[in-house]
Structure formats: C-alpha cells, structure tokens
C-alpha cells in the first residue's frame, strides 16, 4: 500500500469551505501519486490553534463535514485519516477519524490532552482505538501526545495493529525534535510496526509547530521524513515483507505474550 502523508503549513489552516476545498485538492494529489491512504495532521479542520470557539463550532458541524469527506473518499478511492473536533453529547473531543471507501467510519478520541489549551477546549476520550483493515493492513489510531506513552502503541500492537496513524500538532522545541526524530521511531521499532506521524509546520496565531513529519518502518528507520519548515507530501510504499526481519530479531510482542500465557 502506498501512503501519502501531508505535512501542512499552519499559516494556511482553515475551516469551512476553504478547508474542505484544500483537503479535496490533497486527496486528488494523493490519488495522482498512486496512494491508497492519505494522512493529515491533528485538527486538520479548522486548524490546531483556531481557538476553543472555532473548535466547538467545527465540532457542531462535524456530521456535515464527515459526510462531505466521505464523498471525497468515494470520489478518489483513497482512504483518509485526519484530526477533527467532534461532539459527544455536550463535550468536544479531539478526534482522529479514518474514512474508507464503502466502509464504516472509525473514530478515536484523544485520551491524553496536552497543556492548558487542550484541557480548556476538549474533554478526554476513554476508549482504545478500534483496529481495522485498510488495503491488507491492520490499522489503529492515536492523536499527538498519546503516542508519547509507550502503553498506547503497545496496546494497539497487542490488538493486532501493524500500522498506527498519528495526526499531531507538535509545538516547536528542542524536546519536540527528540520526540519526532527519536521517540516516534522507537515506538515503531519496539512494536515492529509501521507508524505514520503527520504534523503541522509554520505558525498560526497561537503556536509554532515542529514539522518533521515521518513515515517509519517496523525497523525504526524512516521511510520518508519531512523537514522542519514547509508543507510537504511524503510518499512511502508499505511492504508486508518489512515485518519479517525486525520481528525475527526482536520479538518483543511474542516474548510478552509468552510470559503472559505462561
């Protein structure tokens, strides 16, 4: 399967028709590149730093937005993973959504909220992501800060995931460089799975972002890596044969399961 990851420039973030139009253009670009799955950052609509009011307004429109996005998925034949605020009763959730042609949508709500900004805007999710099939791969979802806890990726790996999609909005810092360059590849390596980490770059009115989006293989080596600045489309062909050597050399999951069953 060919995966298209889009690192987006936060200075161009938008909601409403402008945001949907931009996503449509990205989906068509993914199709032209031969991708079967497109991956966008956290809160791709309306933008991570849009503020609590705009996030709630977008969450209220989420059913309409999701219907429009499902039309794009049907039109292009490309599955789509992205971040979007959604409502759960009166609560606003920071969600990752996976849309697949002619399949039921998948929603995961971020469980680990980062900082005062998120805690003021969102309620935390409680459920582990479903693991579902996309082009022969078993796929799970996390959002940004979630991936920094080893338990979250491990529980998806134990549930059978071999690809984890992480929409993110990583603020720029020295620590963020370590997260993107070292921690994210480690999560892929220690679970012998593919991990896609789609970040913003540039700045909006509230934050400056790290960039350094990446698609990482089961051996912890990036298959594609973006820079710190500039919107980019990363492409990587995910080959199931890539699981064999890492899982044979470091069978962490097998050892863990053997101890549990013993």
CATH number of the CATH domain containing 106:
3.60.110.10
Beta-carbon contacts of 67 under 8 Å, excluding residues fewer than 6 positions away, are none
**Segment holding 31, helix H or strand E:** helix 16-32
Measured CA to CA, the distance from residue 232 to residue 212 in angstroms comes to 10
Token look-up 């962490």 returns 252
110 included as an active-site residue: yes
64 included as an active-site residue: no
Rg (CA), the chain: 17
- Two tokens, residue 32: 């032209």
Q: Which of 32, 64, 70, 110 is catalytic?
A: 110
According to DSSP, residue 92 is labeled E
Which domain, by its residues, includes 98? 2-261
Contact 120, 132 (CB under 8 A): no
Please report the pLDDT score of residue 113 as a whole number.
98
**DSSP-H helix ranges across 122-201:** 150-158, 174-178, 184-191
Measured CA to CA, the distance from residue 22 to residue 8 in angstroms comes to 10
Q: Which residue, among 119, 136, 34, 23, has the nearest Cα to 80 in the 3D structure?
A: 23
133 included as an active-site residue: no
According to DSSP, residue 251 is labeled -
Please report the pLDDT score of residue 208 as a whole number.
97
Count Cβ neighbours within 10 Å for each residue of 162-198 and write b for 16 or more, e otherwise: bbbbbbbbbbbeeebeebbeeebbebbbbbbbbbbbb
Q: Which of 70, 118, 144, 232 is catalytic?
A: 144
Q: How many domains does the chain have?
A: 1
Please report the pLDDT score of residue 262 as a whole number.
64
pLDDT in tens, the chain (262 residues): 999 999 999 999 999 999 999 999 999 999 999 999 999 999 999 999 999 999 999 999 999 999 999 999 999 999 999 999 999 999 999 999 999 999 999 999 999 999 999 999 999 999 999 999 999 999 999 999 999 999 999 999 999 999 999 999 999 998 999 999 999 999 999 999 999 999 999 999 999 999 999 999 999 999 999 999 999 999 999 999 999 998 888 888 888 888 877 6
Please report the pLDDT score of residue 39 as a whole number.
98
């Amino acid at each position: 399967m060919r995966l298209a990851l889009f690192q987006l420039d936060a200075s161009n973030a938008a909601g409403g028709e402008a945001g949907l139009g931009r996503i449509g253009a990205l989906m068509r670009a993914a199709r032209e590149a031969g991708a079967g799955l497109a991956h966008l950052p956290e809160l791709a609509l309306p933008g991570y730093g849009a503020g609590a009011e705009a996030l709630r307004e977008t969450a209220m429109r989420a059913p309409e937005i999701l219907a429009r996005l499902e039309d794009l998925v049907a039109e292009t034949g490309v599955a789509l993973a992205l971040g979007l605020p959604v409502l759960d009763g009166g609560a606003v959730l920071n969600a990752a959504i996976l849309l697949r042609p002619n399949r039921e949508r998948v929603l995961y709500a971020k469980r680990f909220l980062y900082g005062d900004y998120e805690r003021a805007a969102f309620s935390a999710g409680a459920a582990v992501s479903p693991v579902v099939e996309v082009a022969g791969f078993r796929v799970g979802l996390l959002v940004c800060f979630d991936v920094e806890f080893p338990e979250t990726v491990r529980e998806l790996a134990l549930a059978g995931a071999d690809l984890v999609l992480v929409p993110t909005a990583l603020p720029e810092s020295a620590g963020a460089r370590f997260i993107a360059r070292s921690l994210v590849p480690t999560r892929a390596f220690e679970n012998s799975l593919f991990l896609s980490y789609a970040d913003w770059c540039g700045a909006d009115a509230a934050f400056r972002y790290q960039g350094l989006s990446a698609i990482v293989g089961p051996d912890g080596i990036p298959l594609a890596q973006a820079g710190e600045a500039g919107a980019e489309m990363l492409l990587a062909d995910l080959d199931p044969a890539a699981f064999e050597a890492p899982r044979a050399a470091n069978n962490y999951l097998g050892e863990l399961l053997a101890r549990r069953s013993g």
